[in-house]
Amino acid sequence: MQQASLVLVNGTVHTMDGRIVSGVACRGEHIAIVGSDSEVLAARGRRTEVVDLGRRLVLPAFTDAHAHFAAFALSRQEIDLKGITSLAEAVRRVAEAAARMPAGTWIIGSGWLHDLWGGTQPDRGLLDAVAPDHLVALWRNDGHAVWVNTAALRRAGIDRNTPDPPGGSILRDQDGEPTGILAERAADRIAAVIPSPSTDDVARAITGAMPLAHRAGLAGLTCMEGLDAYRAYHLLHTQGKLLLRIGICLSVNDLAEELDLIQREGRGDEWLHWTHLKIFADGALGPRTAWMLEPYDDDPANRGIIVTPPDELRRLIEHAAEHDIGVAVHAIGDAANRAVLDALAVTRGIWQARRLRPRIEHAQLVARSDIPRFGELGVIASMQPIHATQDMPVAERAWGRRVATAYAFRSLRDAGARLAFGSDTPVETLDVLQGLYAATTRRRADGNPPGGWHPEQCLTITEAIEAYTRGAAWAEGQETSRGSVAPGKLADLVILDRDIITGTPEDVLQARVEGTIIGGRWVYRAC
């Protein structure tokens, strides 16, 4: 028998294939043996590293099924407005940045939520007062709106005569002047005039952020980022520095170039590969741009924004399928989810024949009658559990009684949908354990609301872990190599300091990742 390179013994190994064992033997990048301590120690050689886990929990390493990891990495270099509870504090941070940055440069930030400011929308005048000689662009926490100053509006060529673009809106004051808030496709006008970081810059940022993913127990992420991010990941991969498994989505804007690249170079390998085509059906809950069947409770004249009309959605699904690529469609509102399901039903002949696996990203509000359609059509529900607990107050105000089928983890799973869980970072934290806690309790970390928010939608801890492991692997088409602890699969493992499966919900929140192994190699170790 060929000797193992790493042997873990005296653990509690939940394989996610229904077995609980104590040992795992890794040979190179793959798992060789899963079984008792004596069985795995039989593969030990003189150079084998043997680790006594002291009954710690071992799981397949987590995969974040929906992330913007390059954006997360870059955001660490910008103004952080996440969690800011006052408009004045946000403005103060911009003033501080303006004081240290040369005039004429861009001040970039992200993370603000006007819901935390009593619902008061910010405007350009506040930024003009503290940064008149800079260009300021501050992205809302969900990335679906941007707050800018007058200089940035001028750079983008936006004034009172600029019409709203299809799929976007320019907020205006009572005199018709832009307020400085641009939503959805209107925000693209700002993004287009901000100097893009170089591939080297993005790669450096990713390198600095990878250890944070490792400490969260992540071995892989499905990234919704497109060609520019791909180039940075590819650079790291060619340098042997990519220490996460990245599935990256194609973007509609660069689709022709991406398809040409795939034709020349292939889909990729176990470290970096192209996965689905990312499409936006609608906007988001916070700025009330999610596409709704009925108006918002707190905005009776508004049903949101259709970012990709149904005819175009169907065309894109068919075009991607012709190239053997599935789709990952962002849909927040109940009308958007229905439109995506309708489009997938009409086009199923072409994508089912190619055994593609379409995904709906977020699926935050689904009409009760549409929930069974996920399972019937074979559509993956790619969801982010922490959105449910973070969005509770806003969802209640905006959707009222409709929240009974919002973030419907249990209903979707019971109706036959495959769940794949992620974080939507940098919108929310990379911390998988917080996501598990939200999925299983429907409570925030402070324990509120007592009993959970619509607790009938809670999952068991095993079901939630499955969505971060087997479900996420299935969604990328990687289930034969990842997602469970089994011989022949990649040796991607996470070690926790306690057994969260048999423990209490509080154990999930209090647990610590003590080791992450990717391809048989320790990338993070605290045990």
pLDDT digits (tens, 9 = 90+) for 221-263: 999 999 999 999 999 999 999 999 999 999 999 999 999 999 9
| Distance, CA of 39 to CA of 119 (rounded, Å) | 60
What is the number of domains present in the chain? 3
For residue 512, what is the enclosing H or E element?
A: none
Give the per-residue pLDDT at 1: 64
Cβ-contact 110, 426 below 8 angstroms: yes
Distance CA 335, CA 277 (A): 21
Question: What is the domain extent for residue 370?
Answer: 281-459
Percent of the chain predicted with pLDDT > 90:
93
Task: Tell me which residue of 488, 459, 486 sits closest to 470, measured CA to CA.
Answer: 486
pLDDT digits (tens, 9 = 90+) for 276-292: 999 999 999 999 999 99
Q: How far apart are CA 527 and CA 520, in angstroms?
A: 16
Distances (CA, A) of 41 to 38, 491, 518: 5, 17, 21
Query: Where among 162, 191, 220 does a domain terminate?
Result: 191
- The dihedral built from the CA positions of residue 125, 107, 305 and 295, taken in this order, carries a sign that is negative
Residues 326 and 364 in one domain: yes
Write the CATH number for 27: 2.30.40.10
- Choosing from 191, 215, 247, the residue where a domain stops is 191
Q: Is 44 helix (H, G, I), strand (E, B) or coil?
A: coil
Q: Are residues 413 and 300 in the same domain?
A: yes
Q: Residue 68's closest CA among 225, 247, 212?
A: 225
Residue 527, pLDDT score: 85
Global model pTM greater than 0.75: yes
d(CA 24, CA 4): 10
Is the domain of 21 the same as that of 109? Answer: no
362: left (phi over 0), alpha (psi -120 to 50) or beta: left
- Residue 257 domain-assigned (yes or no): no
What pLDDT was estimated at residue 173?
93
Pair (45, 146) in one structural domain? no
CA distances from 503 to 437, 460, 497, 500 (A): 12, 12, 12, 5
Please compute the mean of the pLDDT values over residues 382-396 and round it to a whole number: 96
**38 shares its domain with 160:** no
pLDDT at 250: 98
Please write the tens of the pLDDT for every residue from 16-34: 999 999 999 999 999 999 9
- Mean pLDDT calculated for residue range 479-507: 97
pLDDT digits (tens, 9 = 90+) for 175-228: 999 999 999 889 999 999 999 899 999 999 999 999 999 999 999 999 999 999
Rounded (5°) CA angle 234-207-468: 80
Whether 7 is in a domain gets the answer yes
Boundary of a domain, candidates 425, 459, 493? 459
Q: What is the residue-averaged pLDDT of the chain?
A: 96
Alpha helix positions (H), 323-400: 334-346, 348-353, 371-377, 385-399
The answer, yes or no, to whether residue 43 has pLDDT greater than 90, is yes
The pLDDT tens digits of the residues spanning 351-360 come to: 999 999 999 9
Same domain, 407 and 314: yes
Residues 37 and 171 in one domain: no
Considering the domain architecture, whether residues 299 and 401 belong to the same structural domain is answered as: yes
- 33 and 83 fall within a common domain: no
Strands (E), 301-444: 327-331, 359-362, 380-383, 419-421
Claim to verify: residue 394 and residue 512 sit in the same structural domain: no
Mean pLDDT, range 52-73, rounded to an integer: 97
- Residues 286, 409, single domain; the answer is yes
